[in-house]
Structure 1
Amino acid sequence: MNHPERILVIKLSALGDFIIALGAMRAIRTHHAGAHITLLTTKAFESLAIQSGLFNDIIIDQRPKKFDPAGWMRVRNIFKAGRFDRVYDLQNNQRTALYFRLSNMTKPKPHWAGTMAGATWRDVISSKATEPAPLRHARLLALAGIENVRDDDLHWLGGDHDVLRDLFKIPEPYVLIVPGCAPSRPEKRWPADHYGDLARRLYGWGLTPVVIGTHDEQPLAQTIITHCAQAIDLTGQTALSDLPMLGRFAAGAIGNDTGPVHMIAPTGCPTWVLFSASSDPKRHAPQYPWVRTIQRSKLDDLSVNDVMNVLKARDFRT
């Protein structure tokens, strides 16, 4: 009796990177249609991974510390118990390089697709710092015989227009405002006062500003509302799975280089992303023709007039 092929996909973080990798994950599932596919990821993305329907099992990475022999033994046991035929490493960092070494201590050793020396299918082009992740993923998978890697439009997260109206009751047309970012990266955040002034001007164009983010970003929303009382605060009220639905029916979206923007852009929503010098739009911006970027060395130096000079009312969906 032939057993299904056993595949492990590794993608740990962050949110935007996880969303970008979904196209590669779907291509792996299509290529290995009858396989038993396991995802090794972090707790934050477990729900999205389940909803995607791409995986038979999900293992949560426990991220062992450098001096944690028991933790590293648990990682080794993932490979020992999994008896994987193939591993697709879509993370390719120092941590997964260690995982690769641990996998080599098991029998049978899995075939590995990644950037590490000794990998079965090795992407030796050192372009990680300058090249968008989708191109890297497509090239790596092509080495392993997987073609037609395409972006995932997040259609599987669903939500039609009636659901949107019932859940959020937003006056249309509306524009999404994403003023937050990772707390550890304040240099990637355009000032909330600027977003407030922008929201006021967008309302003057007949667009309802809708602020989205986590509960911790509610103070940013309140600052925006002091400038534009008509803005709607949805911070802390949406799940990650709600963001594609909001993007699907929005007139547009404007935000910082942060994960929620990567969940909005695949839906076809006209999107403007604001960048500081701390990250490269060519590498980190969502790679769609309807996404535009605006960059300054310091986002504090980006004025509202600068942004308005890029935005055009006709570029928003109506």
Structure 2
Amino acid sequence: MGKIIHELKKVSGRFVFPALIPKKPNSEKVLIIKDNSIGDFLLFSGILSFYIRHFGDKVYCLVNNNVEDAARLYTKNVIVIDNKKYFASLKYRYELLNCLNDIGFGMAVNSILNSSESRDMLHILKIPMTYLYGGVVMDLKKKRRWKNVASIIPSLEMFDEKGIYTKVLNHERHFMERILNVKVSDDDIKPYIPLKDTISERVINKFSLYGGKYIAFSFSSASLKKNYPADKFMEVIGYLHRRLNIKAILIGHDQYGSVELPDFIIDLRGKTSLTDAFSIIKHSRFFIGNETGTTHASWIMGVPTVMIYGGGHFGGFPPEYNSGNTVYKYMDCYCCNWGCKYADIPVPCIKEISVSDIIKVAEKVLS
């Protein structure tokens, strides 16, 4: 019954809201939509900055509420969406749509295919120059419903000649180049985090930490099936502690509950903001984590990083710089878009990565 009510709210809004929201004159303001995860946003940061350089302060960025802290490092023009509330509450949905309508955007850019919320917004608001992307790790569905509503930019090939996913950053570059009719270099769209030293040093002092005198790590990711087993993770952290003779800082969410931690670990799970976590990572000697936002933040900031990398989107989200190194166990079912055929949690391509394989990559990074 709950699912039926949810669908009724979802569909009815598409008929009701266009009549309730009066059209405002369009301006030159540009809406850039990136309402997915922290890692996706950080990989997109160089692209966002290019849009801002191109259009100036006309650019507004719509992000998920858990990304707001990071987005405000790049622009003050941040609009926040709570994806959990969007379809659940007609009142919330109306207020957000009305807010976007009041700003009066003349252009909207959305490369995200897995966000039905952002597609719903664009279909209701019908911003004059709306651009959607044809496909990243999945194809845009129901393309005919966008006739006379949006321009759909044809995508790059989904897989390369080796059968692995084309890098998402390459898709984002291609999408932007087609919209703006420009050619950009790698440096033009290089992901970065503009975290001021004064801010990061204040955070280090707040938690009584010392730059370079600790390693940082995180158990958590966006999905439990992508999390490396906690007991094996602790073996790796124990080895690094003995190898470097320094403390370890645990950040992120408390997905594992009350895992017993040794004395050399300072547990800051749930005690930091997103920018606090970036600051702690920035001053660490070394970072290790699953393929998640904090791990991407680490290599982007040039911190020696080991990423435990699964096969669901293999090739799509690799580290771009030498500071980032991946460890993975190849399987013939890679590139499944996380529709794993096994019921295991975590999935086999994560769970079967050995402690010794991670340590080998860590030693390579440390040397």
TM-score (norm 2): 0.71
Q: 1:292 maps to which residue?
A: 325
Q: Aligned partners of 1:192 and 1:61: how far apart in 2?
A: 30
In the other structure, the counterpart of 1:316 is: 366
The aligned amino acid for 2:114 is N
1:156 equivalent to 2:195? Answer yes
Shift of 1:267: 0.3
Partners in 2 of 1:93 and 1:232 — Cα distance? 36
Map 1:1-318 to 2 at 5 A: 5-33=28-56, 35-52=57-74, 54-60=75-81, 64-65=86-87, 77=98, 80-93=101-114, 95=116, 96-104=118-126, 109-115=127-133, 117=143, 118=147, 119-120=150-151, 122-125=153-156, 127=158, 130-145=165-180, 147-148=183-184, 149-159=188-198, 162-163=201-202, 165-170=204-209, 172-182=212-222, 185-214=223-252, 216-217=254-255, 219=257, 222-225=259-262, 229-277=263-311, 279-296=312-329, 297-312=348-363, 315-316=365-366
Tell me the alpha carbon deviations over residues 235-288 of structure 1, each in whole angstroms, 9 at most, x when there is no partner: 2232210233222222211111222212222100111111233x2341123322
The CA distance in 2 between the partners of 1:258 and 1:161, in whole Å, is 21
Q: Match of 2:251, as an amino acid?
A: G
Distance 1:299 1:61, change over 3 A: closer
Q: Give the aligned length.
A: 300
What is the alpha-carbon distance in structure 1 between the residues aligned to residue 170 and residue 72 of structure 2? 25
Deviation (angstroms), 1:302: 2.2
**What is the CA distance between 1:69 and its match in structure 2?**
6.8
Q: Is the 8 A contact 2:36 2:115 kept in 1?
A: no
Deviation at 1:71, TM superposition (A): 6.6
Mapped partners of 1:162, 1:73: distance in 2:
41
Q: Distance in 1 between matches of 2:120 and 2:190?
A: 29
Deviation at 1:126, TM superposition (A): 5.3
Pick closer, same or farther for the CA change 1:42–1:161 going to 2, 3 Å.
closer
1:88-113 CA-partner distances (Å, limit 9, x unpaired): 11323352333333233xxxx42122
> How big is the alpha-carbon RMSD for the aligned residues of Structure 1 and Structure 2?
3.1
Distance 1:281 1:163, change over 3 A: farther
Secondary structure of the residue aligned to 1:155 is coil
Structure 1 residues 20 and 69 mapped into 2: Cα distance closer, same or farther (>3 Å)? same
1:151–1:207 Cα change, 3 Å: farther
Note the alpha carbon deviations across 1:36-82, whole angstroms, 9 max, x for none: 22222222222332332x2435243565439x777765565455433
Q: Which runs of 5 or more structure 2 residues have no equivalent in the other structure?
A: 1-25, 135-142, 330-347
Query: 1: CA distance between counterparts of 2:38 and 2:249?
Result: 19
Give, as a single letter, the amino acid of the residue that structure 2 aligns with 1:9.
Answer: I
Report the CA distance shift for 1:316/1:160 in structure 2 as closer, same or farther (over 3 A): farther
Q: Distance between the aligned counterparts of 1:175 and 1:200, measured in 2?
A: 11
Matched residue type, 2:351: D
* CA distance in 2 between partners of 1:18 and 1:59 (Å): 13
Q: Please report how far the alpha carbon of residue 141 of structure 1 lies from its aligned counterpart in structure 2 after TM superposition.
A: 0.8
**C-alpha separation in 1, matches of 2:199 and 2:29:** 36
Q: Which blocks of at least 5 consecutive residues in structure 1 are unaligned?
A: none
Alignment partner of 2:121: what SS? helix
Contact 1:256 1:273 in 2 (8 A): yes
2:139 corresponds to: none
1:64 & 1:231 partners in 2: Cα distance? 39
Secondary structure class of the residue paired with 2:217: strand
**Contact kept? 2:112, 2:133, Cα under 8 Å:** no
Greater CA deviation, 170-179 or 193-202? Answer: 170-179
